[in-house]
Amino acid sequence: MAKRTPDTIDNVFKIIKDNDVKMIDFKFMDFPGQWQHFTVPVYELSRDSFEDGFGFDGSSIRGWKSIHESDMLIMPDPKTVLVDPFITIPTISLVCDVYEPLTKEKYERCPRSIAQKAEAYLRQTGIADTAYFGPEAEFFIFDDVRFDSNERESYYHVDSVEGKWNSGRDEKPNLGYKPRYKEGYFPVPPTDSIMNLRNEMAQNLINAGLHVEAQHHEVACAGQSEIDLRFAPLVSAADGLLLFKYIIKNTARLHNKTVTFMPKPVFGDNGSGMHVHQSLWKNGKPLFFGNGYANMSELGLYYIGGILKHAPALCAITNPTTNSYKRLVPGFEAPVNLAYSQRNRSAAVRIPVYSQSPKAKRIEFRTPDPSCNPYLAFSAMMMAGVDGILNKIDPGEPLDKDIYDLSPEELQNVPSAPGSLDIALNALEKDHDFLMKGNVFTEDVIETWINYKLTREVKPVSLRPNPYEFHLYYDV
């Protein structure tokens, strides 16, 4: 079992004392990618708690235990301690690892455990000691959302004061400042009506210890936004993204607004992606800088080769919802073509050239979206890149043209991302050996992921009439 160091545990109890904390909130990750939690009074937490853990019923957690083997343990990680800014009674939050109670081994399907194994595997290869990840999660801020699906009806309704569709609505008065479709990047206020809210979100993130680099309105109307976090080591980056979502959603809720990280909630405008910057370092030195294309090292290019080779399988984890593939279509800036380039944002893998500093050299995988489980997604991307390095996978020639302007003859040589979740899951079923190196992902994890997605998402969606089908077929 992992040991918690005395100094980090001391810090937890210091924060409890300094803030007169009354409650301890334990957060852990379910299999698909949502934070779960339960809370105990502060007197239930002792130094032994960080070794003995707390029991809970794992049978009610999505993708986990059966009812006859439901007892589980969580072990709080003292390095993740945070005074929760949204809870009225003084409360600290602790992110936890999940353990089997009988063996005291980390639970095989705990996503955070998988990410920890990925970091350990990287060190075992000797290639690098740190994998840095910097996600750029886009999201929509809505004023109203309603949806239902039952035997006789299925619908959704989202609304935003910024929605271009409300240009003619009687708002007593309607002031007219609504971004045009695909023109939400970067109008100043008053057209950008959520500047103050994003600033408050950013400040709350900073107060929670996250390093915010920038915030801005995104391309779509209807409140699409982006707040960028500084890169961090793999597990820390995943922890940070979950905290990011928690703070963004709860800050919006305080203003009676709602946030969704669903990739494509609005038809006809841009969807929300999550471009993921990544690099490998060893002994404090960046490994992606070199004398090759775009000042990339040979190792860095092999990493790109691994990402592109395994991209169809990766999509089953990095784009894990049926809705993800409503975004991955041409014409809305989504990188569906599996190529790489410097600067070219229509390529799935981009090599940013903002800075020529070796420390800034990184790659950006642009296909993922923020509906993913970050522990699994970051781990899978790193495993694909490392496989590219170990097997010296050539990424081929870069594509420095606008992919959307290519002729059909040129495009036929550029592979595409899967067009649906079931196709991506089929690719993962055929191509997952690279994920199982070092026992990072196991056969049980892969099988459970595929079966869960097929039975709980793909098949239920395929069985239900789509409202647009009535428009197409009612009069046949």
pLDDT tens digits for 414-455?
888 999 999 999 999 999 999 999 999 999 999 999 999 999
Check 84, 97, 192, 226 and give the catalytic one: 226
Check 198, 327, 366, 432 and give the catalytic one: 366
Please tell me the predicted confidence (pLDDT) of residue 258.
98
Check 228, 364, 387, 457 and give the catalytic one: 364
Q: Is 4 assigned a catalytic role?
A: no
CA dihedral (383, 129, 241, 73) positive or negative: positive
Which residue type does 197 have? L
Please tell me the predicted confidence (pLDDT) of residue 2.
45
Contact 129, 122 (CB under 8 A): yes
Please tell me the predicted confidence (pLDDT) of residue 457.
96
Classify burial at 160, counting beta carbons within 10 Å of its beta carbon; exposed 0-12, middle 13-18, buried 19 or more: buried
Q: Is 171 assigned a catalytic role?
A: no
Check 30, 77, 192, 218 and give the catalytic one: 218
The backbone torsions φ and ψ at residue 34, rounded to the nearest 5 degrees and listed phi first, read -110, 135
Q: Is 366 assigned a catalytic role?
A: yes
Number of Cβ atoms within 10 Å of the Cβ of 406: 17
**E strands, 143-234, in order:** 144-149, 154-159, 212-217, 224-229, 232-233
pLDDT tens, position by position, 22-63: 999 999 999 888 999 999 999 999 999 999 999 988 777 888
Q: Give me the residues of the chain with pLDDT under 70, please.
A: 1-4, 65-69, 331-333, 344-345, 403-404
| Cis status, amide bond into 231, omega within 30 of 0 | no
Q: Is 10 assigned a catalytic role?
A: no
Classify burial at 202, counting beta carbons within 10 Å of its beta carbon; exposed 0-12, middle 13-18, buried 19 or more: buried
Rounded-to-integer distance, Cα 234 and Cα 254, Å: 31
Q: Is 138 assigned a catalytic role?
A: yes
The backbone torsions φ and ψ at residue 427, rounded to the nearest 5 degrees and listed phi first, read -65, -40
Q: Which residues of 457-469 are buried (b: 16+ CB within 10 A; e: fewer)?
A: bbeebeeeeeeee
Check 30, 77, 136, 269 and give the catalytic one: 136
Number of Cβ atoms within 10 Å of the Cβ of 375: 25
Q: SS3 of 329, please?
A: coil
Check 10, 57, 433, 444 and give the catalytic one: 57
Check 47, 123, 255, 345 and give the catalytic one: 345
Show the DSSP H helices in 310-352 as ranges.
311-318, 324-327
Rounded-to-integer distance, Cα 317 and Cα 300, Å: 22
CA-closest candidate to residue 422, choices 381, 391, 450, 388: 450
Rounded-to-integer distance, Cα 208 and Cα 165, Å: 36
DSSP string, 427-442: HHHHS-GGGGGGGSS-
Check 138, 228, 239, 387 and give the catalytic one: 138
Q: Is 97 assigned a catalytic role?
A: no
Check 109, 198, 217, 275 and give the catalytic one: 275
Number of Cβ atoms within 10 Å of the Cβ of 57: 13
Contact 43, 170 (CB under 8 A): no
**What residue has token string 């993800």?**
324
Q: Is 327 assigned a catalytic role?
A: no
Rounded-to-integer distance, Cα 476 and Cα 457, Å: 29
